Amino acid sequence: MDCIFCKIANRELGTELVYESDDVVAFPDIHPQAPVHILIIPKKHLANIGEIGPGDEGLLDQIGAAVKELAAKYQLDDGYRLVTNCGPAGGQTVPHLHFHLLGGRELSWPPG
Ligand code: AMP
Ligand code: ZN
């Protein structure tokens, strides 16, 4: 399958990985929307959060651990946003599950 985030997780593109655990990696977004904009993804190809299922036990725990460690690493002490877009109407453009970790500026709500 020709999936750019699978290639990043497999270290095929030379993208800097800023975090790695057994089943998760994280890397900087190529078009950052905030001073800190990291994408956290499962190594396994899942199209979106709705594809998490049997066999993925512990994955969201690992995502949570990544968020905690990355928030500390990037000193997001004042807060941050974690968001996953799902499907075209949700604004998803890359069909491999990913969580945006955004911080380093005031983030408005609601998003567009
Ligand atoms: P979404 O619109 O939620 O699917 O988010 C996809 C994100 O992936 C966007 O913020 C893009 O800037 C980012 N992106 C696309 N290709 C790459 C890449 N090769 N390396 C890093 N980030 C990427
Ligand atoms: Zn993939």
The closest ligand to the CA of 39 turns out to be 1
- What confidence score (pLDDT) does residue 62 get? 98
- What confidence score (pLDDT) does residue 98 get? 98
Residue 79 alpha carbon to ligand 2 centre in Å: 29
- What confidence score (pLDDT) does residue 110 get? 95
**The tokens 């500390």 sit on which residue?**
72
Residue 96 alpha carbon to ligand 1 centre in Å: 10
**Which residues make up the environment of ion ligand 2, defined by Cβ < 5 Å?**
3, 5-6, 45, 96
Nearest CA-CA partner of 97 in 84, 83, 79, 78: 84
Residue of minimum CA distance from atom 12 in ligand 1:
31
pLDDT along the chain (112 residues), means of 10: 96 97 98 98 98 96 98 98 97 98 97 88
Top mutation candidate among 41, 46, 93 for ligand 1, by most atoms within 8 Å of CB: 93
Q: Is 31 a catalytic residue?
A: no
Nearest CA-CA partner of 105 in 46, 40, 48, 37: 37
- What confidence score (pLDDT) does residue 40 get? 99
- What confidence score (pLDDT) does residue 112 get? 84
